Each structure stands twice: as structure tokens, then as C-alpha cells.
A and B are shown apart, each in its own frame.
Chain A
Amino acid sequence: MEEEQTSAGKVKKFMMLNRKAPYGTVYALESLEVVLISATFDQDVSLVFMDDGVYQLAKGQNTKGIETKNFSPTYRALEGYDVEKLYVERESMDARGLTEADLLVPVEVLSSAEVGKLMAEQDVVLSF
């Protein structure tokens, strides 16, 4: 089996598993930083949003009142970095009363079992 090569070396499958809400902790912002770095090195990056991580993608975030940077527009810019594999776990979304229409970017909605299968296919899984 041939492995894809770049100037930076072998391409690995990276998954960022996002499980935290955006502003209560710094996890979501740190994950985005790592996603952008991985993309810069032309790696195969997937983002999974489950548990409170699904809130990271909620439309209409306005952080003026808490004087914190609103980084949610960055998710819309990921396409420009060829980061297009965004997955949301259906069970987490449903429990929170959210639907795909409430999210600010197109995503693929997966069942828990499908998330597990995708996870098992990765070279590296990073948890945030």
C-alpha cells in the first residue's frame, strides 16, 4: 500500500476530539490552534464534536459582554485550510436540543458507533 508523501514527511490521520464548551475553559481554543498547525503541515485532519464540544459550533455567538475573543468564525475559515472533515455526534446534539440548522458550518452527523469506528481508523487521536 502506497503512503502519501509530502515535503514534511508521511501524512498521518489526526483526529481532534472536542468535548468542551467554548468559553468556560480554554480547551476549544487550544484545539483550534492545533488544528491550524496540523493543516499547515498538510496532515489529514478530522474534527469530532461530542458532549459539550457541540456547543463550539453554535451559531450566533457574541462575546462582547464577557470581553473574550469570539473564535467561532474560525470554524468557517477551516475550509480554506483544506480542513473539511467535521463530524458531530448525533446523541450529544440531540440531548442538548440542537440540530444541524443551529450549527455555523456544514458537518456530517454521525452516530456514537460511527464515531467509534472513525476513531479506530486514526493514526493519532488528540483529546480536548
Chain B
Amino acid sequence: MLHIVTKSPYEKNALDSCLRVAQAGNAVLLIEDGVYAAVRGGNAAEKLQKAAASLKLYALAPDIEARGMKERVIDGVTLVDYAGFVELVTSHPTNQSWL
């Protein structure tokens, strides 16, 4: 199962809802404003870091770079390009977008 989070954790509760529902072993991909969850020192990054123990975490690199956050991503989050995004979608039988 792949969860895709598209909204900023500081504006919407998409990330909170996702993390509440996601099962151990699931993958979470942060895209668009969802990538702000992975920024070091932020309140949301703490939640993500706890979740990293049981979930696989990814973020879309072009969205990170667009927002100037390239050097600020926490450890434990794997950056993927668009091809990696497609690979994640096709390699998981179920996808859920948290808008």
C-alpha cells in the first residue's frame, strides 16, 4: 500500500490522517506541499521520524528543490524523481492520495 500526501502538514490534517491509518510496512510518498513535512526542525518532522520506524518514507525531489528545502530534508526520507514516483505507484497494488 502506497500513501501519497499532497498537502502541507501545517495547513491540512492530511499527514496526520495518513499516519493514523497507515499500517506497518506501508509506503508514504510526500509530493507538492506535502514535502514540507520532511523539513528538519519542523513540528511535523518529529511525527514523521516516529513513523519512520514502521513505514517507508519517500519525497519527490523536484517538489523539494522547487521549495528550497533540498538541504533540509530529515534522515530516513528517500528522495525520488518522477520515474521513481511512477515506480512506487506501479509496484504497490493499492494507492491512496491524501488531499
Q: Could you tell me which residues of chain B, from 62 to 85, have a CB within 8 Å of some CB in chain A?
A: 62-63, 65-72, 81
Residue count of chain A within 8 Å CB distance of chain B: 26
Q: Could you tell me which residues of chain A, from 10 to 29, have a CB within 8 Å of some CB in chain B?
A: 20-24
- CB-defined contacts of B56 to chain A, threshold 8 Å: none
- CB-defined contacts of B67 to chain A, threshold 8 Å: 21-23, 55, 58, 61
Q: Is B36 an interface residue (CB 8 A)?
A: yes
Q: Taking A24-B32, A98-B41 as contacts, is the C-beta distance between A52 and B8 under 8 angstroms?
A: yes
Contact among B36, B42, B62, B71 with A21 in the assembled complex (CB-CB below 8 Å): B36
* Interface residues in chain A, defined as those with a beta carbon under 8 Å from any beta carbon in chain B: 20-24, 51-52, 55, 58-66, 68, 70, 72, 92, 95-98, 102
* Interface residues in chain B, defined as those with a beta carbon under 8 Å from any beta carbon in chain A: 6-8, 10-11, 32-33, 36, 39-43, 45, 61-63, 65-72, 81
